[in-house]
Amino acid sequence: MRLEQYTQPFASSFYKKYLEDTANLSSFFHYEWNQTALNKRFQEADFSKHKRTELAEVITSFMSKYGISVKSSQHIDELRNNGVVVIGGQQAGILSGPLYSIHKAISVIALAKQQREILGVPVIPVFWIAGEDHDIDEINHVYIERSRTLQKLVYPEKSRTKKIASESSFDQQLMDGYLNEIFKSLPETLYTKKLKSKVMELLENNLTYTSFFTALMNELFQEEGLLLIDAAYKPLRKLESDYFQLQILHAPEIANAVFEHEGKMEQQGYGTPIQAKESAAHLFYIVEGERFLLERVNNLFINEAKGLSFTLDELMEIARENPEQLSNNVVTRPIMQEMVFPVLSFIAGPGEIAYWGTLKTAFEIFGMKMPVLMPRISISIVDAKTQSLLEKLSFTIEEVWDGTLQAAKLDYINNNRNEEIPHLIIEIKKDLKEKYDQLEKLLINDGLKLSPLLQKNLANHEKQLKFIDNAIEDTFLSKLDATINRYDYVSMSLVPNGGLQERTYTPIQLLNEYGPNLIEKLLEVTYEFNGKHHVIYL
């Protein structure tokens, strides 16, 4: 296994600025992302304010269904006492969702280990699951390979409501069939049968998006002691009751702060990642598992489409008595995280860093600072075949990312193409059109009204020419297939769907190829939190 590091490919302008020049973004963040910042955060943050005992009990209760390892139990005890956390999270995708979910968990674990050693205190890895999210279309699919192309395979059951992920249930028979289809798309290896058996076993008692996701993540990371918690877990909502009340009371201030701060971001050319409104309440109300975003209108908290309307006192009572009916949005979730957990650092992806950049003054409303936002580790895994093909084709991985490889493939095809053939087909088509036009004029002059028949006949000829043209192209490409396949294999491996590998593939493809100890191998790598993209050759 070999590790190489590269400048982040496909980085947005704001993310690139954050990686390369955080100091000049100080108006958007409280800390840079280096060891000095982590030391400062540890020294100045008030980690005594948290409800540690209650939090430890909530996490224990949530994880007990999935199995709590010895190390996880140790971490819960440390959290109950004086431990601080490195935290990150993700939506509950099928089979863990894209690989970057796994990379986030690896990042959380790696940074926690590193800081435990440097700071000399318990630093605990925590992964929150966005079970309160209701955009199921973002998480209900995986990509599989068929006939040398990637296909999006969507779980077939359609929901008529937009229930949150933690309450969106699978039909077990449909999900069994869906998972069977995924595994059929994988090449048979020494690990396939056992891997499929384990996945089916995890599904058996976990028939919601969140529980299935949690079971798989716990299976992969329990020996590392990764603590898991669902943002929609009702006992957690009870613990958050006081914090919801604070957010409701300060809703106008939060909305104004974020609106103004996002305006500054837009003025500096970084866009509007949240598209905040001054009237936003930045809270959802949950009805029978569905989330409805609230707005502030005339001193009321409303959702007009659903016919919801609450006074301040009514919403405060809900927060006190039934906090499970409330849910945070993209603005108040980071604030809630800071209120609930003693956070040393938050592991953030590119999109998260952009929207957290709008929240600095919102945190200050509550006398808090943002934690250190550490860019998550991003990884591309290069298998032996891809590595061999890169060498044979004489391309670097950077030339795959920047499109040079794809351009070379097109050059190879065009350089082998006989250009006389398409020109001749164009001439035949042109000649046919001219001859049919001449025939039509003669018929019109003779008073014979056959124009519709002529146009139909010409269209048939053109259709046949198109058929011949396609057949020629297919035969031509099949002649070059062996070399084209090499280009396509490398592209599909390293830039599926035109982006990084980690944004398309799930870990199942890799676990099937390399076996169940792949995660263990990846965790053995000494990662540097330096904003680089990590390429691992297996």
Beta-sheet strands, E only, within 172-325: 227-230, 280-287, 290-297, 300-303, 308-311
Task: Classify residue 376 as exposed, middle or buried by CB count within 10 Å of its CB (0-12, 13-18, 19+).
Answer: buried
pLDDT attached to residue 472 = 85
pLDDT attached to residue 147 = 82
Burial track 83-105 (b if 16+ CB lie within 10 A, e otherwise): bbbbbbbbbbbbbbbbbbbbbbb
Instruction: List C-alpha distances in Å: 485 to 258, 393, 410, 480, 500.
Output: 50, 12, 12, 9, 20
Of 323, 228, 229, nearest in space to 283 by CA: 323
pLDDT in tens, the chain (538 residues): 899 999 999 999 999 999 999 899 999 999 999 999 999 999 999 999 999 999 999 999 999 999 999 999 999 999 999 999 999 999 999 999 999 999 999 999 999 999 999 999 999 999 999 999 988 989 999 999 888 889 999 999 887 777 999 999 999 999 999 999 999 999 999 999 999 999 999 999 999 999 999 999 999 999 999 999 999 999 999 999 999 999 999 999 999 999 999 999 999 999 999 999 999 999 999 999 999 999 999 999 999 999 999 999 999 999 999 999 999 999 999 999 999 999 999 999 999 999 999 999 999 999 999 999 999 999 999 999 999 999 999 999 999 999 999 999 999 998 898 888 888 989 998 999 899 899 989 988 888 888 899 899 989 988 999 998 899 888 888 888 899 999 999 999 999 999 999 999 999 999 999 998 999 999 999 999 999 999 999 8
Q: Which two tokens stand for residue 365?
A: 């409303």
Q: How much is the pTM?
A: 0.91
β-partners of residue 287 are: 290
What is the spatial distance between Cα 67 and Cα 63, in angstroms, rounded to a whole number?
A: 6
Q: Where are the domains of the chain?
A: 2-241+332-383+507-537, 385-498
Instruction: List C-alpha distances in Å: 274 to 139, 258, 303, 369, 537.
Output: 20, 9, 19, 20, 37
Q: Which two tokens stand for residue 519?
A: 């995660």
pLDDT attached to residue 419 = 85
8-state DSSP, 418: -
